[in-house]
Amino acid sequence: MNRLRVLIMTGFETLTGFMLPMEHRSIVWGLDEQNIEWHLYNPWNPLPRLDRYDAMYVSVYRYYNRNYVYYGARREAELLARGFPVIGTVENAHSLHSFYLSRWADAGIECAKYQHFSAFEDITDLKYPLVLRRDGMHRGSGMYLARTPEDAQRTIEAQRRLALQTYPDAKGMLPLNLAIEFVETERSGLYFHKFRSYVVDDEVIPAHFMRSISAFVNYKDAALWAQTCSMDEVFRLEGEPHPERVLAAARAVGLDIIALDYSRLPDGRYVFWEGNRVRATAGDSHVAWLGIRDTDMRYGTSVARLIRRRARQADAARPSMAYAQPAAASFLR
C-alpha cells in the first residue's frame, strides 16, 4: 500500500470552518504526523472514485447543515456495503443522553435510571432527587436539580412557559424532556467530581478531571484552583486506573471513537453519565485552562493510527477489489 489517502466526511463547507474545532485540528495533526493524505468531503455531493482512497473518517461537527445526517447515513451505508472502511459514524450525531443510558442499562453498565416526559405527570418510575434536562443538550446547558416532585413540577412548567415565549425561533429555548435519577458519588470534602476519558478503538486516553461544589460538574462551574489542576495532571499522566471499565462502557455503545464522562461511587465502582461525539479540548476557549495539548496530540495520533489499521485490514482482505466509481466529487482541499 502506498501513502494512505483518507476522505473526511464533514458538514463544514470550507476548510477554514472545518479547522475551527480543536478536535479537527488534533486529527489533522495526527494524520499529518502519520503521513496520511486527507481530503474533505460533503456527503450531499456524489462520491469520488473510491479506488483513489483507502478509508473514510466521519465527523459529526456541524451535523445540522444541509441534512448532513441524512446524506451521511446514506453514504456510510453505501461504503460499508462495498467493504470500504469507514471510521466513525453519523449514528447518534445529536449525542442524545438517552442513547448512551439505554445501551449501558441493556449491557449492565452502572448508570443512572432515566425517563422521557412531555409533562410532569409522565414522570412515574424514578426516585428523587432528579436531574431535569433537554435530551442531547450538552455542556451543562439547561440542567436543573429537582429534590422533590413539587420542585420538578415548578421547574418543568416554568421552563415550558419560557420555551413557548421563544417559539417559533429556531434558536429559541426547548422544553425539558428527560429526567435522570441523581446518583450520589464519591466526594472529596465538599466537592463533586467527574472524569472524562477518550476511547479510540481499544485505547483509553485520560482527558481531564474536574471538581465542583455544584452537583453539576461541568466547564462553567468547575473548581479551578491549584489542587484540582494538580489532580487533573495526575490523572492525565498516570492514566485511568481501571481502563477495562471505561472500555466496557465504550463497547456497550458500539462506537469506534467516543468521549465518556463518569464518576466514582463511594464503594469504588464507576457510574457513567454520558457519552460525547463532539468533544471539548484544550484548544477550545471555554476549556483552555485545562492545558491538555498533550492529550489533544495523543488523541489525534490515535485516530490516525486507527484509520491506518482499518485501511490496511481492508486492503489485506480485498487485495484485488476495485472501488472505482465514475461519479466526480467536490473537495474542499
- Secondary structure class of 11 (helix, strand, coil): coil
- Secondary structure class of 292 (helix, strand, coil): coil
- pLDDT for position 327: 45
- pLDDT for position 225: 58
Per-domain residue ranges of the chain: 5-93+296-317, 113-181, 187-276
187-276 has CATH 3.30.470.20 classification: yes
- pLDDT for position 235: 86
CB 8 within 8 A of CB 17: no
b or e along 171-193 (b: 16 or more beta carbons within 10 Å of the residue's beta carbon)?
Answer: eebbbbbbbbbbbebeeeeebbb
Q: Which runs of E-coded beta strand occur in the chain?
A: 5-9, 37-41, 55-58, 86-87, 114-116, 130-133, 144-146, 178-181, 192-200, 203-212, 257-264, 270-276
- pLDDT for position 220: 57
CATH fit for domain 5-93+296-317, picks 3.40.50, 1.10.20, 1.10.150, 2.40.50:
3.40.50
Query: Residues 6 or more apart from 107 whose CB is under 8 A from it?
Result: 248, 251, 252
Q: CA 212, CA 192: separation in Å to the nearest integer?
A: 5
- pLDDT for position 319: 58
The secondary element (H helix, E strand) that includes residue 165 is: helix 149-166
- Whether the CA torsion 103, 108, 113, 115 is positive or negative: it is positive
CB 232 within 8 A of CB 188: no
CB 294 within 8 A of CB 236: yes
The pTM of this model reads: 0.85
* Rounded (5°) CA angle 208-264-273: 70
- pLDDT for position 89: 92
Q: 130: which strand partners?
A: 146, 181
- The third-level CATH classification (topology) of the domain covering 113-181 is Dna Ligase; domain 1 (3.30.1490)
Q: CA 242, CA 197: separation in Å to the nearest integer?
A: 11
- Secondary structure class of 278 (helix, strand, coil): coil
Mean pLDDT per 10-residue interval, the chain, length 333 residues: 90 92 89 96 95 94 86 95 93 87 97 95 95 82 89 94 81 86 78 89 90 69 64 86 96 93 89 80 42 76 95 80 46 41
- pLDDT for position 286: 40
Q: In what order do the strands lie in the sheet with 37-41?
A: 37-41, 5-9, 55-58, 86-87
Q: CA 257, CA 88: separation in Å to the nearest integer?
A: 7
Q: CA 39, CA 46: separation in Å to the nearest integer?
A: 14
- pLDDT for position 5: 96
**Backbone phi, psi, residue 255, to 5°:** -115, 140
- pLDDT for position 330: 41
Query: Contacts for 287-293 with beta carbons within 8 Å, 24 or more apart?
Result: 287/208, 287/219, 289/224, 289/229, 290/208, 290/232, 291/229, 292/207, 292/208, 292/236
- Side chain identity at 131, as an amino acid letter? V
- pLDDT for position 138: 72
- pLDDT for position 1: 55
DSSP label at residue 333: -
CB 312 within 8 A of CB 42: no
